[in-house]
Amino acid sequence: MREIVLDTETTGLEAHGGDRLVEIGCVEMVNRILTGNVFHVYINPERDMPLEAFNVHGLSSEFLSDKPVFLKVADEFLEFIAQDTLVIHNAAFDIGFLNAELERAGRPTIARDRVVDTLALARRKHPGGGNRLDDLMNRYGIDSSRRVKHGALLDAELLAEVYSELLGGRQASLIGLVEDASEAPRLVVAAQAAHPRPVPLASRVSDAEAQAHGAFVAALGEKAIWLKYADDAPADKAPA
């Protein structure tokens, strides 16, 4: 399963009010493992940079003046994300800007139903708690020392770690175990494969306990849910 963790930086908050994208950062995950494949671009917004936005991401008008306009990178961006799931924090903001730029460029927009919003996931998992990206990194002990200012690619990398933790962190220990990123999906499949125990463990249920349970289930009637498991029980332990 391929997913793209994505972040953007902009000149402000109004996608349809004159503000523009200035940076896109994407990192690829396959089976929830970072592959090392990224898409990153700075964009000339063709307008000035408000001081409030500059203080957030540090991208000046001078720095962006020789960068490509969105139209020049639109096709490369769409090719990278393909039709795969996009993982975004506070997705409505980023998707609003991306779709506004795509519309201006005459390109297909991004459907909302292919987006996973980690802010919504965090609010369900941690109701009442702080759920900004910084809050979640602190909650999960993710090193944010590199994050002096906001940056789309760095924030996408950090969000990928947060996303893994929001889903339980079951595969976090596998990250970095393989030198070749192409081996990551194979490693995950191998780690998740079921291996039957060579010698089944002896039952801890005594004969008396099994008989008592059988009598209890019999008293529940023909619709007792325990009867669904009777066929899987050892012959000498099955409910009476």
Going by C-alpha positions, the residue among 17, 5, 3 that lies closest to residue 97 is: 17
- Cβ burial of 236 (10 Å; 0-12, 13-18, 19+) is exposed
Residue 131: which residues within 8 A CB-CB, separation 6 or more? 119, 122, 123
User: The tokens of 189 are what?
Assistant: 């499949």
User: The tokens of 89 are what?
Assistant: 């924090």
Q: Which residues pair with 23 in a beta bridge?
A: 9, 42
Q: Which helix (H) or strand (E) holds 163?
A: helix 152-166
Cβ contact 189:47 at 8 Å: no
Q: Which residues are catalytic?
A: 150
Where do the DSSP E strands lie in the chain? 2-10, 21-30, 33-42, 85-88, 115-117
